[in-house]
Structure 1
């Protein structure tokens, strides 16, 4: 069975973790495969937005138990290779690609699964979703971006609680603290994610890419640096066909028809 399903619909790549019998637990091979699919979506000119979700009742329950049991016997060099080359691969792909990425969180997103959801640009959760940085329960810490991204989503205090207690956060609480943008009924999740993805895919591609780059850089920058560095990005947007179309549409009082140029 393929560990990651890949379909493209209306310029949207839909990547589905497909190990429902394990609650979509991640092995090194599954993480690598997801990373490869994300990298292909990033390079595919047909794809203009990406949705990541899980098959069955879970988004991802984190590391596969058989892999976790084998960890103590692995040499340190091999462990580092697994973390950097396998489990961080989809995280790096999601953060570095110019296209917007939406996590459609259909159920449990814990451990590495939580980190995967956090790495997306947008998060839409079903009422059945639960989030947990449960690493501390195993005697370890997040190493897939959560230490950096989670405090920027929910604040340092709330992130500290989640990371240091292993607390499970239900969907509505996740929305309240800013971890997710929307909570919908389970049977409405796919449509909600695709609706957002289609709207983004119909948007000005290069301006969205510039916005994502500036937002990502701003996470570790300051206002004065951003005032300088966003100017070249803005100027590059002014030179696009999409910008010209946006101005024409505004003048003509009609919706813009962006083509990605």
Structure 2
């Protein structure tokens, strides 16, 4: 089976699927890309032959975060009662039924870090960097990270990442529990497929049932936290510090923030 949803390619080899983001070199996302990922994983949930999948991306960067210049802003809401369509799609990703292994071969920044935490497990390498750079942009964390990240690495380590925007290397990510397997960059995808294949050897109904138990309430909490994140991002996106943050990151310099 081979399908394509925009810049997301889906293929199935035996019982393991590959879901690949094809927006190199930086693999920035917009609302449409996250919706295309939802469509891909929904298809795999409905495909009996698929028992597990690998989420990967082309090039040496996993995902550099949100494209703030995209047609449909990642920070906008369609109507006050509906909320941000990006985070609606993010909740849908956390609601998928079958196990996912993330192949994190390079930097996962901001919302890209949120995307990297959708999978059940992560395979990474020394070249990878896990970065919650939101305050460097003058914005509040999003993508449900304020719930998911502390669940993985603990509140204090999550605080450290959020407050400083520090880049966590692959080795430290494994030590902290942010990733599960460390290998060389050229073998990240291979090792991710090996883990997904091992999962796929289990009885599929039992695996999905166990996963549902272990992740019970996760999507609901992601929704609750992302609703709050959305409200905080809405007013912060109107500040001068946000404009300066986006500019400073683009220009690769420290932001000159004024608190306005």
2:11 equivalent to 1:7? yes
1:80–1:122 Cα change, 3 Å:
farther
1:71–1:99 Cα change, 3 Å:
closer
- Report which stretch shifted further, 176-185 or 135-144: 135-144
Give the gaps of 5 or more residues in structure 1.
Answer: 221-261
Answer yes or no: is the 8 Å Cα contact 1:32–1:87 preserved in 2. no
**RMSD over aligned Cα atoms:** 2.5
Cα distance, 1:213 vs structure 2: 1.4
Distance 2:74 2:13 in 1: 38
List per-residue Cα deviations over 1:43-95 (Å, max 9, x = no partner): 111111011011001110000142399678x6x54698673x33541x33442
2:62 equivalent to 1:40? no
2:66 equivalent to 1:66? no
* 1:55 aligned partner: 58
Q: How many residues align?
A: 215
* 1:203 aligned partner: 202
Distance 2:16 2:83 in 1: 29
Higher helix share: 1
Give the gaps of 5 or more residues in structure 2.
Answer: 220-260
Correspondences of 1:42-191 after superposition (within 5 Å): 42-67=45-70, 76-77=77-78, 83=84, 85-89=85-89, 91-191=90-190
Answer yes or no: is the 8 Å Cα contact 1:119–1:145 preserved in 2. no
Answer yes or no: is the 8 Å Cα contact 2:63–2:109 preserved in 1. yes
List per-residue Cα deviations over 1:181-230 (Å, max 9, x = no partner): 0111011111101111111111111221122111112779xxxxxxxxxx
TM-score, with length taken from structure 2:
0.75
Answer yes or no: is the 8 Å Cα contact 2:104–2:124 preserved in 1. yes
1:209–1:190 Cα change, 3 Å:
same
CA radius of gyration, larger in = 1
Q: Which has the higher contact order (CA 8 A, sep 6+)?
A: 2
Distance 1:215 1:141 in 2: 28
User: Where does structure 1 differ by over 2 angstroms across 4 or more consecutive aligned residues?
Assistant: 67-72, 76-83, 85-88, 91-95, 217-220
Cα distance, 1:133 vs structure 2: 1.1
